[in-house]
């Protein structure tokens, strides 16, 4: 049983296409991660500013603040991506997830995976994981919307 011809499901495909394009771009540019390094530098500066009210002399406090701050904003970005209905909003929320997701991944996995191990794998994991989460959220949204359309018809 499929969706009736009157239902337009092409807009729903953007939930998958946009983050997949970002994921592909992140994987391809991980060989020369200029954009990723710029985003990480901006994220580190923002995390440092957020850390000012706390004891900013301790590295552990900065890491904890970075993990909490970036995780909350990554989850918020994924929620906004799920709720988005327009192409522009999907692109902006994908960028939001990429920006804060990279910071979350850096503070979370930096103890396990070092940049010296494999430069390409390091940047692919760091930038690819948030985009993969966005693709999975897009797939979930696409499937639930199509399931709702199929059950209504």
* pLDDT tens per residue across span 105-127: 888 887 776 656 677 888 888 88
Question: What angle is formed at CA 90 by the lines to CA 145 and CA 33, rounded to 5 degrees?
Answer: 130
Residue 137 domain-assigned (yes or no):
yes
Which residues have C-beta within 8 Å of that of residue 135, sequence separation ≥ 6?
Answer: 16, 19, 20, 23
pLDDT class of 6 with cuts at 50, 70, 90 = very low
pTM for this entry: 0.81
Average pLDDT in the chain? 83
DSSP state of 85: -
Give the distance, in angstroms, between the CA of residue 76 and the centroid of all CA atoms in the same chain: 10
How many domains does the chain contain in total? 1
How does 2-18 read in b/e, with b if 16+ C-beta sit within 10 Å?
A: ebeeeeeeeebebbbbb
123-151 tens-digit pLDDT: 888 889 999 999 999 999 888 877 777 78
Range of the domain at 108: 12-144
Residue 97 domain-assigned (yes or no):
yes
* Max CA pair span of the chain: 62
What was the pLDDT predicted at 117?
Answer: 60
């Amino acid at each position: 049983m499929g969706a009736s011809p009157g239902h337009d499901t092409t807009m729903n495909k953007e939930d998958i296409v946009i983050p997949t394009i970002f994921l592909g771009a992140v994987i391809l540019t991980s060989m020369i991660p200029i954009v990723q390094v710029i985003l990480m530098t901006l994220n580190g500066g923002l995390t440092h500013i957020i850390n000012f009210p706390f004891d900013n002399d301790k590295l552990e406090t900065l890491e904890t603040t970075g993990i909490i701050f970036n995780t909350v904003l990554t989850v918020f970005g994924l929620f906004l991506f799920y709720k988005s209905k327009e192409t522009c909003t999907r692109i902006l929320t994908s960028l939001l997830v990429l920006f804060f997701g990279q910071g979350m991944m850096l503070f979370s996995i930096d103890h396990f995976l070092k940049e010296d191990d494999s430069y390409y794998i390091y940047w692919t994991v760091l930038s690819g994981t948030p985009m993969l989460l966005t693709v999975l959220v897009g797939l979930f949204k696409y499937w639930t919307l199509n399931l709702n359309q199929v059950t209504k018809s």
